Amino acid sequence: MPRLLLNCLAPQDAAPLALPALPAGLRLDDLAAQQWAGLRLRAWQMEADAASLDAARNWLEQASQQQAATDQIFRGLLLEEAPAAARLVLQGPQLDGRVLRRALDALHLAGFAAAGPLRANGAAVLQINVAGAAADLRLLNHRLAEAVADLSVDAAVCPADWQPGHFGLLLTDMDSTLISIECIDELADMAGLKPQVAAITERAMQGELDFAASLKARVALLAGLPESMLERVYQERLRLNPGAERLVAGLRAQGCRVGVVSGGFTFFTDRLKARLGLDYAFANTLEIKGGKLTGRVLGEIVDAQGKARILEALARENGLALSRCIAMGDGANDLPMLQKAGLGIAYRAKPVVRAQADYSIQHTGLDGVLALMGDGAGAEC
């Protein structure tokens, strides 16, 4: 049976919504009625059979015209097929009424409407159930991100069936994703070569250079660096990105396995695996002789395709479809694994990665991933 969804978002002190009288045989049922951050949200639904469908359409047009001159956001959505259920997730340090107004307006224009109550977690996470016609969620999320781009908030629409336990594996990049530095750039700094190496790193992460070739060129510049510099970088400069420990704890509580895969070096991934209690760690091995780096990498280099193959192998090992796997990264060499995973997340990423990833986290910590997965906690801002 066709279903009509109605939303009204208005300032709390605005006059109550005045709707035209309903034709005989039609009835509005309340879905949500609550106030938040100076706004009042009302949501209703109406079901209309074939005989009353034209009356429902005419009533909606009349109601829309009546509300057009007010400062309220009033939208109606007629769904002639079963609606697609989803969750709107807003995360950021300063969630306010502007954020909700901007996000709901963008969703309305894309054919979605509120279909359930708000769930607010302090000032960090706001979730609302929405419904609409089946849509390309990746395209919808990019449009939503554009709508709130100036508000320092991460916005996403996620399928309603993404609930705790849905995902069984998360594989994350290390440098500038799990941790705040590029380890190879910090090693180069110890050798007095950071500007040269960092310039190559940046071009590789933007996708301008072949990753394997660029890694070999950068490592070659480190020839002769004392092995002890690796420990210095780990102890003095390596820092976890915000929310890393909370993300891992939240994933493990859901029974999700967690791994790190890096185009960097095993010296660092092995230590992070032990420190965070990760299930997997994959990276490149630096050749060391006589207590010094030789400037070479041992074995096959973990590059973009290597990361994607590792994701596929771990999914098979755990009996998981790729749709139940999460991949996260910031550079161009992460794109193949992000595109294979059911949930590909660009974390504070380069523009080329944000443009192609399913979801983007720019303003909150790594624990913001939890809200996308259906965990009501989300990020601590």
> In this structure, is the dihedral angle defined by the CA atoms of residues 45, 48, 54 and 55, taken in order, positive or negative?
negative
What radius of gyration, in Å, describes the C-alpha atoms of the chain? Answer: 25
Q: Which two tokens stand for residue 329?
A: 């990264």
Helix axis angle for 194-205 and 183-190, nearest 10°, is 170
Q: Could you give the CA distance from residue 289 to residue 291 in angstroms, rounded to a whole number?
A: 5
Q: Phi then psi for 83, rounded to 5 degrees?
A: -70, 155
Which amino acid, residue 73?
Answer: I
> Taking the C-alpha atoms of 349, 353, 358 and 362 in order, what is their torsion angle to the nearest 10 degrees?
20
Selected catalytic residue, list 154, 173, 279, 367: 173
| Beta strands at 359-361 and 343-347: parallel, antiparallel or unpaired | parallel
Q: Phi then psi for 352, rounded to 5 degrees?
A: -65, -30
Selected catalytic residue, list 154, 175, 303, 367: 175
Task: Provide the residue count of the chain.
Answer: 381
Q: What share of the chain is helix, strand, coil (3-state, %, to 5)?
A: 35, 30, 35
Nearest alpha carbon to residue 331 among 175, 149, 197, 139:
175
Q: Could you give the CA distance from residue 330 to residue 5 in angstroms, rounded to a whole number?
A: 38
175 is catalytic: yes
Q: Which two tokens stand for residue 256?
A: 């999700």
* Interacting residues of 236 by C-beta distance below 8 A, sequence separation 6+: none
Are 167 and 255 in contact by the 8 Å Cβ rule? The answer is: no
154 is catalytic: no
| Beta strands at 169-172 and 257-265: parallel, antiparallel or unpaired | parallel
> DSSP character for 343?
E
Question: Cβ atoms within 10 A of the Cβ of 147, count?
Answer: 19
Active site residues: 173, 175
